[in-house]
Structure formats: structure tokens, C-alpha cells
């Protein structure tokens, strides 16, 4: 296997196809649709233990039997994005935060737009639950995976 090789697999879900991308140690991405987004790497269409574990946990999540993911993740992003993504993982299943509340948790109450941008760049959707961030008025707001999918995830978690 070449240096910097990543494995990827497509998994069918209630939201359509998802692309799982992992190296030997961490899940690197969960993207909506079929993607070849990590072009700078050798992409190997194959599976590995990380991808298999992610697939099992996603199936459980969509069945409503899993509320927390137990996966090693390592998304690539700026220091601020990393901070926001880490905070997203602290939002409990079934709860939501506003962009403003998340900005306050990130240490800058005026950074709600920056938080929204960091959310949109989250490469590990669902598992790093950016769908749990909503507008101040309670509306869902945007979502890289599509607003319909965001609403589905919020409904799934509100059962």
C-alpha cells in the first residue's frame, strides 16, 4: 500500500449513498453521495476494520438503537474548525444548539458565521453531528448534506 493511502466504501442509507473514507487508524470522512473527494491520496476501493465498524454503527444509528458513535476520527481542517468539530461531538443525541450558542462555547460570541462555515466544512457528517446546530429561531438552517437530510436526522433523533 502506498504512503497516504486511504480506503473507501459506499454504504446505502435512508439518506442515499454515503462515502466512508478511512486510513488504517481513523475515519477521515463520511460524505453524502458517492465522492472521490480526497484526490491527493491514493484511493483504494476496499474496506478495512475502521470502515466496517463505521458501517455497523451507522446501521444501528439509523435503526434507532445507537445514540453515540465509538469510532476513531481524524478530520482534516484548520485549528478553529477542529475546535468547532470537537464541540459538536459534545452535543447530546436528540439535543440541538444554535450557531450562537456554539460560537459562545468556542469562545467568541460574535463568531456564529464562522461556526456556520466550520460546520459546512465538517468532513465526517452524522458522526460529528453538525446537523444538531440550528438557527436562533429554531429553523434547521443549512446543511452540506442537504436540508431534507438534516431534518430527517433531527426527526430520527427526536423519537
The SS3 assignment for 93 reads coil
Q: Residue 158 catalytic?
A: no
In 16-118, the DSSP E strands lie at 16-22, 27-32, 43-45, 97-98
Catalytic residue (choose from 87, 130, 133, 134):
130
- How many degrees, rounded to 5, is the angle at CA 105 between CA 129 and CA 65? 25
- As a whole number of angstroms, the longest Cα–Cα distance in the chain is 49
How many other CB atoms are found less than 10 A from the CB of residue 79?
A: 7
What are the catalytic residues?
Answer: 130
Amino acid at each position: 500500500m502506498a504512503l497516504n493511502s486511504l480506503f473507501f466504501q459506499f454504504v446505502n442509507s435512508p439518506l442515499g449513498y454515503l462515502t466512508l473514507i478511512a486510513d488504517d487508524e481513523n475515519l477521515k470522512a463520511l460524505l453524502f453521495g458517492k465522492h472521490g473527494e480526497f484526490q491527493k491520496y491514493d484511493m483504494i476501493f476496499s474496506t478495512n476494520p475502521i470502515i466496517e465498524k463505521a458501517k455497523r454503527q451507522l446501521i444501528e444509528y439509523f435503526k434507532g438503537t445507537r445514540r453515540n458513535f465509538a469510532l476513531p476520527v481524524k478530520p482534516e481542517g484548520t485549528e478553529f474548525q477542529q475546535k468547532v468539530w470537537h464541540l459538536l461531538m459534545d452535543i447530546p443525541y436528540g439535543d440541538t444548539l444554535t450557531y450562537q450558542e456554539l460560537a459562545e462555547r468556542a469562545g467568541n460570541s460574535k463568531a456564529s458565521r464562522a461556526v456556520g462555515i466550520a460546520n459546512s466544512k465538517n468532513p465526517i457528517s452524522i458522526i460529528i453531528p453538525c446537523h444538531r446546530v440550528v438557527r436562533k429561531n429554531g429553523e434547521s438552517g443549512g446543511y452540506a448534506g442537504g436540508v431534507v437530510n438534516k431534518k430527517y436526522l433531527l426527526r430520527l433523533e427526536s423519537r
